[in-house]
Amino acid sequence: MTDARRLTLFAAGLLVALGLGLVVGTAAGPITAARPDVGVVVQGGEVS
Amino acid sequence: MSNIIELDIGGMTCSSCAARIEKRLNRIPGVEASVNYATERAKVELADGATVEEAITSVEATGYSARLREQASTSVAVAGEAEAPTDEASALRHRLIVSAVLTAPVLVLSAIGAMQFDNWQWLALTLTAPVVVWGAWPFHRAAWTNARHAAATMDTLISVGVLAAFLWSLYALFFGAAGDPGMRMGFSLVPERGGGSADIYLEVASAVTVFILLGRWFEARAKKSSSAALRSLLEMGAKDVAVLSDGVETRISIDALVVGQDFVVRPGEKIATDGQIVEGTSAVDASMLTGEPVPVEVGPGDSVTGATVNAGGRLVVRATRIGADTQLAQMARLVEEAQTGKAPVQRLADRISAIFVPIVITLSVATLGFWLGAGAGTELAFTAAVAVMIIACPCALGLATPTALMVGTGRGAQIGVLIKGPQILESTRRVDTIVLDKTGTVTTGTMRLVDVVAGPGTDGDELLRMVGALEDASEHPIAAAIARGARERLGVLPPVAAFTSLQGLGVEGTVDGREVVVGRMGWLAERWSAAPDPVLLAALDGAESAGRTVVAAGWDGQLRGLVVVADTLKATSAQAVRELVALGLRPVLLTGDNARAARAIADEVGIEEVISEVMPADKVRVVGDLQAAGRVVAMVGDGVNDAAALAQSDLGIAMGTGADVAIEASDLTLVRGDLRAAVDAVRLSRQTLKTIKGNLFWAFAYNVAAIPLAVAGLLNPLIAGAAMAFSSVFVVTNSLRLRRFRAVSTTVTPEVQSHRVQAAPRAVTVS
């Protein structure tokens, strides 16, 4: 297989992956960054 | 008509580069090329009008540098070239030290919250930037070259990981919350989704670079030592020569010697070049070249080889071949050719990366698509996608091979096995045949007294006493073996008077008032005009056909008996052969002896397959034939004549008691001359390879386990740091287990003990 052919195949693979991701993501429904239900413990290590 | 040239190739980072250049060169019509990654050279056969420029342009178009290598005309020129320092290791060392010094504070600042002061992140960025750009430059360059050919190696993984971590940190610092003066690295116990632009991964970018550079430096050091093979071979030759002209001796440099000139070789001196003896008789010790312990008797008209040692009298030799035409130079070429033609072994980490990198990039793009599709916003989508690439680059990847190799080679050194580099470990797993050179490997390689056959009416001890006393006055290696054997058995030997040595025939002298003569049977029989006793003749026949050396002795005008010396079997050889078979290897005995003598030795140690009557120069062909038959061959040898065969074999094992060049041309060196160490060498190498594979698995495992978190947008620096620390600790601990490797060669079995007792010479009286 030539280099160009391999690169083309890889690029096509990436496009397919992106498309699949989009499809699955859309199907999974809206997910936002904010997660008020998750508790966060922050350990501050500041030196004053 | 074809023309063979050699090109020095630059910029290769792994064996797949070599394969790529080779493929490209072979595409040119009329070109047949083979590229060796280890020697960084390409051997190119040009035909049908193909030019050197065409070949060089083709290599350069592939992304590498090429330069025509000058063919050395003299041995000195080759030696000079071999001495040219390989600066790859020192350049890497420089890069490593600078990067490590810059990385240490970044690690401390990032890992210890108490150390973080206002704007600490900007100091970390200042320190990390040169490490990522300059320190990791070799990886970026190699990754780019590979990318142009749609290939991915370990370099690609490192480059992508390091750049992803660094560029993301840059984004977070300049456009996210991470650049705030009071920023502290948060140690969230539960990962927080969407906190990406507040997180920086500078310590990941710099630490990965340093670890990988460390691994590369170890590898470069190992590669550097392999080029010393040629140098040590050429250093064996004489540096100057005493030329004889009109009866006057003049000492000149070896380069000034011309064909046809006569030169003098004194006892103990090396013969300067290949030639023909004009005057004088002597014994020439060619053991350095041939590995055979018996010196060859030479006289006028006989040919001699350069670099062999004149063990006896003064010789006048006429030079017949000089410089690149000598046998020594030809041997050097053979070693070089065998090294160049050797199939490259691809780094394990590269093979894994070739599959791993495309998967990670695809996964990263899929993650981007998922979060975009899920409507989480562009920032979170990119955070998650970049996080996948950051976490996929395992820091311990650079440690997996070198740490196991360091511990493995360290343990090897303790048990007398020196492993040259990681590239040979793969071979130890695949080898199925082990070729054992007889002399010096299976046998001791030094002459020992093995038998005393006394004629009718003569006492065996008396015969040995007389012969031992007379031979004690001679410097000939066979005489020394007899004298040593006699002294071991009988104690103090009587003094000798009127000692005379007759070159090539024997010695005579007076012992206890008797005129004793020791030498060739024919000479003694002729001297006394008496037919030898038939029993002695039969003993002579039997011993000689078994490959042993026999000297006859007599006094008072009568032949009294025979003394037999031979190269003896090593006490541990039989056990070693059994152990090799148990490892799944098929032992083959290789020797220049006649078939009967070879069979006798093979039977004694339990080897079924014997290749006998092999001329020293043909050993490389024998190994090649076995390889052509589909076998993966390991070769154990010790002589200079074994060097090419050792280089040709898939796994070359040299006896440390042998010639330097054999050691240099090999992959494994056994410090002691014990064949059982070869068993340990194979076992230890296999164990080390197994550890490397385990290390690579675990190096990837911790990071791979964190990939789902990255995909889910839950990765933070704490997890990246933990994956880095855990995998590194695991890899180092796993490697340290090699210290417990148990060697078979350091134990004395009852069999070895009894062999040592039996090895004492015995006296037989024929009545």
Task: Kindly report, residue by residue over B429-439, the tens digit of the pLDDT.
Answer: 788 999 998 87
Q: What is the pLDDT of residue B132?
A: 94
**Mean pLDDT confidence for B428-451:** 85
Q: What is the pLDDT of residue B192?
A: 55
How many Å lie between the alpha carbon of A40 and the closest alpha carbon of chain B? 6
Contact A35 B376 (CB under 8 A): no
Contact B189 A44 (CB under 8 A): no
Asked if this assembly's ipTM is beyond 0.85, the reply is: no
Per the CB < 8 A criterion, the answer to whether B95 and B135 are in contact is yes
Query: Least CB-CB distance to B374: which of A28, A39, A40?
Result: A28
**Mean pLDDT confidence for A22-41:** 66
For B586-601, write each residue's pLDDT tens digit.
999 988 777 877 888 8
Chain A partners of B368 at a C-beta cutoff of 8 Å?
A: 18, 21
- Which positions of B are catalytic? 437
Q: What is the pLDDT of residue A35?
A: 44
Tell me which of B170 and B293 has the higher pLDDT.
Answer: B170
Return the beta strands (E) in B514-641 as ranges.
514-519, 549-555, 558-569, 586-590, 609-611, 633-637
Chain A partners of B184 at a C-beta cutoff of 8 Å?
A: 44-46
B66 three-class SS: strand
Query: Least CB-CB distance to A18: which of B113, B188, B365?
Result: B365
| DSSP annotation string for B117-162 | -TTHHHHHHHHHHHIIIIITHHHHHHHHHHHHTT---HHHHHHHHH
For B610-653, write each residue's pLDDT tens digit.
998 887 778 888 999 999 999 999 999 876 778 888 888 888 88
pTM value is 0.65
Q: What is the pLDDT of residue A44?
A: 43
**Mean pLDDT confidence for B563-574:** 86
Q: If we measure between CA atoms, which residue out of B622, B614, B616 comes closest to residue B640?
A: B616
Bridge-based pairing of strands B506-511 and B496-502 is: antiparallel
- Distance (Å, whole) CA B144 – CA B129: 19
Q: If we measure between CA atoms, which residue out of B643, B637, B682 comes closest to residue B656?
A: B637
Return mean pLDDT, chain B: 80
Q: Is A36 on the interface with B (CB under 8 A)?
A: no
Residue B705 has pLDDT above 90, yes or no: no
Residue B218 has pLDDT above 90, yes or no: no
**Mean pLDDT confidence for B222-248:** 67
Chain A partners of B151 at a C-beta cutoff of 8 Å?
A: 3, 6
Chain B partners of A34 at a C-beta cutoff of 8 Å?
A: 194
Tell me which of B332 and B623 has the higher pLDDT.
Answer: B623
CA end-to-end span of chain A: 62
Chain A partners of B148 at a C-beta cutoff of 8 Å?
A: 3
Residue B688 has pLDDT above 80, yes or no: yes
Contact B148 A3 (CB under 8 A): yes
| Proportion of chain B above pLDDT 90, given as a percent | 12
Q: What is the pLDDT of residue B99?
A: 95
Least confident of B221-230, B305-314, B406-415, B642-651: B221-230
Chain B partners of A22 at a C-beta cutoff of 8 Å?
A: 369-370, 372-373
Contact B192 A20 (CB under 8 A): no
pLDDT band at A23 (very low <50, low <70, confident <90, very high): very high
- Distance (Å, whole) CA A27 – CA A30: 9
Q: What is the pLDDT of residue B591?
A: 84
Which residue of chain A comes nearest to B145, CA vs CA? A3
Bridge-based pairing of strands B433-437 and B633-637 is: parallel
Per the CB < 8 A criterion, the answer to whether B564 and B763 are in contact is no
Query: Least CB-CB distance to B380: which of A4, A21, A33?
Result: A33
Contact A30 B375 (CB under 8 A): yes
- Distance (Å, whole) CA B561 – CA B535: 10
Residue B506 has pLDDT above 50, yes or no: yes
- B→A interface, C-beta within 8 Å: 112-117, 148-151, 182, 184-190, 192-194, 358, 361-363, 365-377, 379-380, 713
Q: Best interface-test mutation with A: which of B144, B145, B365, B372 has the largest number of A CBs within 10 A?
A: B365
- Distance (Å, whole) CA B331 – CA B327: 6
For every residue of B360-414, which 3-state class applies, written as one string? Answer: HHHHHHHHHHHHHHCCCCHHHHHHHHHHHHHHHCCCCHHHHHHHHHHHHHHHHHH
Least confident of A38-42, B385-389, B435-439, B545-549: A38-42
For B253-289, write each residue's pLDDT tens digit.
888 888 899 999 888 888 888 899 998 888 887 766 6
Residue A38 has pLDDT above 70, yes or no: no
Structure tokens at A22: 């989009």
Residue B85 has pLDDT above 50, yes or no: no
Chain A partners of B182 at a C-beta cutoff of 8 Å?
A: 46
CB pairs under 8 A between A and B: 114
Per the CB < 8 A criterion, the answer to whether B252 and B241 are in contact is yes
Q: What is the pLDDT of residue B130?
A: 96
Q: What is the pLDDT of residue B638?
A: 77
Q: How far is CA B591 from CA B435, B613, B637, B641, B650, in A?
A: 10, 6, 11, 12, 20
**Mean pLDDT confidence for B451-468:** 87
**Mean pLDDT confidence for B526-551:** 80
Query: Least CB-CB distance to A38: which of B114, B190, B358?
Result: B190
Q: How far is CA B135 from CA B124, B367, B720, in A?
A: 15, 30, 21
Q: Is A47 on the interface with B (CB under 8 A)?
A: yes
Query: Least CB-CB distance to A25: which of B188, B358, B369?
Result: B369
| Proportion of chain B above pLDDT 70, given as a percent | 84
Tell me which of B38 and B615 has the higher pLDDT.
Answer: B615
Tell me which of B748 and B356 has the higher pLDDT.
Answer: B356
pLDDT band at B757 (very low <50, low <70, confident <90, very high): very low
- Distance (Å, whole) CA B545 – CA B548: 7
**Mean pLDDT confidence for B535-555:** 84
Q: Best interface-test mutation with B: which of A22, A24, A41, A48 has the largest number of B CBs within 10 A?
A: A22
Residue B138 has pLDDT above 60, yes or no: yes
How many Å lie between the alpha carbon of B711 and the closest alpha carbon of chain A? 11
Q: What is the pLDDT of residue B127?
A: 95
Contact B370 A28 (CB under 8 A): yes
How many Å lie between the alpha carbon of B148 and the closest alpha carbon of chain A? 8
How many Å lie between the alpha carbon of A4 and the closest alpha carbon of chain B? 7
pLDDT band at B13 (very low <50, low <70, confident <90, very high): low
**Mean pLDDT confidence for B135-150:** 87
Q: What is the pLDDT of residue B21?
A: 85
Q: Is A48 on the interface with B (CB under 8 A)?
A: no
